[in-house]
Amino acid sequence: MSKLLIHGTKKLKGEVQIHGAKNSTLPLMAASLLCAGECVLHNCPALSDVDTAIKILRHLGCKVERTAGDVVINPLTAKNYDIPDHLMREMRSSIIFLGAIVSRLDRAILSFPGGCELGPRPIDLHLSSLRKMGVDIREDHGCLDCVVPNGLKGAVINLSFPSVGATENIMITACLAKGKTVINNAAREPEISDLADFLNSCGAKIHGAGNSTICVEGVRRLTGCEHFVIPDRIAAATFMTAAAITGSTLTVSSVIPEHLAPVIPALEESGCQVDLYDSSIRISAPKHLSRIKSIRTMPYPGFPTDAQAPVMAMTTLAEGTSMFVENIFESRYKHVGELLRLGANIKVEGRVAVVEGVKRLSGATVEASDLRGGAALVVAGLAAQGITEVYGLHHLDRGYESIEKNLALLGADIRRV
């Protein structure tokens, strides 16, 4: 079993380039199914979730080639409409393929998705929305059997919550549907705009992405295109917290600074100086971090739930009390128990976590139970005295491209064994 060995308290310095966004790459790969030509995605990260998406596309009959950061998808040979259960379980966002498959093949059979155990992540918004668009969905013992008996049609869909996945599924399904689809209370994340840019480059007619109302006018055909995936804002935020907790100065490049706007105020409140440039951010941390009064996770442009765990790790060594309120997922404090092993002082009550900063963290053996929680353990281990062993690396590999190699290049004493 692989693990990370971290000898903590080393300062970081230099520049790290951020890979393409996992949360953009996966829906883009799914959307490629709609196209009547080859799609080329540049800046695709080398992640296990991307590997799973490639396996899904190949199972569906697509031809997929990968070279370095490029993924070339030819969907013309797609003929299968099912996704095996073991592939659905490997990736939490696998449900994003539902709309694309029914749109191309008028049928889809798949099971409920797996991935990180973050508590209930209902797909009812996906299913109710697609039903309004003409998809007949039967649920039986964890299996979804979906058919389109009379063709896809546009609809007015009012989301009760601005779900990123549901918004993406509706957008993809609506592209080739007859008529106009209006999504109210749509998600506004940068990944939504990236998906719209890709689909519009293929010939779709999508307006309003990035706002709370998105309109999609159905077209008869989509062509392929070349597209450059946006940078991963959560990976960028993670490296920024690593710099902060180690008292370091670091340049995070190949980013879109605007996408980090919800996270930057928290870093500045902790005492860090954050300088923004066209495609990079420079963070300079103080010797002692200050507490962050309150962080509440919210849909974009609020504070991202995916950045909550790494930022919490950072505050374990801050002077004073920091409070976190998790409003997106019910079970997103699983990293807390492992941070306690390192000497952190954190109390959790429901959706609220209170972090009392401590003088020092001490190395220990910890295990990641989810992707971002694993990142938090790495961040804490970088500042802990002694040796920290991090297990559960399959979670980290879902969202961070060679995180230990990038940290080592910045001066961290970290290796995978």
Is residue 43 part of an annotated ligand binding site? no
Name the catalytic one among 35, 39, 62, 116. 116
Please provide residue 321's backbone torsions phi and psi, each rounded to the nearest 5 degrees: -110, 130
**Which pair of tokens denotes residue 318?**
């801050």
Instruction: Report which of 236, 244, 274 is spatially closest to residue 380, judged by C-alpha positions.
Output: 244
Is residue 54 part of an annotated ligand binding site? no
Is residue 51 part of an annotated ligand binding site? no
Is residue 278 part of an annotated ligand binding site? no
Chain Cα centroid distance, residue 411: 26
Please provide residue 412's backbone torsions phi and psi, each rounded to the nearest 5 degrees: -70, 150
Give how far Cα 411 sits from Cα of 2, 102, 121, 370, 403, Å. 22, 48, 38, 26, 13
Amino acid at 275: D
Instruction: Report which of 82, 74, 79 is spatially closest to residue 32, judged by C-alpha positions.
Output: 74
Give how far Cα 56 sits from Cα of 21, 169, 392, Å. 19, 16, 24
Instruction: Report which of 309, 314, 318 is spatially closest to residue 356, judged by C-alpha positions.
Output: 318
Instruction: Report which of 401, 392, 394, 381 is spatially closest to residue 5, judged by C-alpha positions.
Output: 381
403 contacts 378 by C-beta, under 8 angstroms: yes
Instruction: Report which of 8, 9, 19, 12 is spatially closest to residue 250, judged by C-alpha positions.
Output: 12
**Which pair of tokens denotes residue 137?**
């969905």
Is residue 176 part of an annotated ligand binding site? no
Is residue 153 part of an annotated ligand binding site? no
User: Cα dihedral angle (281, 287, 291, 292), rounded to 10 degrees?
Assistant: 0
The whole-angstrom separation of Cα 404 and Cα 402 is 6
Is residue 80 part of an annotated ligand binding site? no
Catalytic residue check, 215: no
Is residue 23 part of an annotated ligand binding site? yes
The number of residues in the chain equals 417
Helix or strand or coil: residue 365?
Answer: strand
Is residue 73 part of an annotated ligand binding site? no
Instruction: Report which of 324, 30, 72 is spatially closest to residue 191, judged by C-alpha positions.
Output: 30
Is residue 122 part of an annotated ligand binding site? yes
The whole-angstrom separation of Cα 224 and Cα 216 is 18
H-helix or E-strand containing 241?
helix 233-245
Please identify every residue annotated as catalytic. 116
For the annotated binding site for UDP-N-acetyl-alpha-D-glucosamine, the residues are 92, 121-125, 306, 328
For the annotated binding site for phosphoenolpyruvate, the residues are 22-23
For the annotated binding site, the residues are 22-23, 92, 121-125, 306, 328
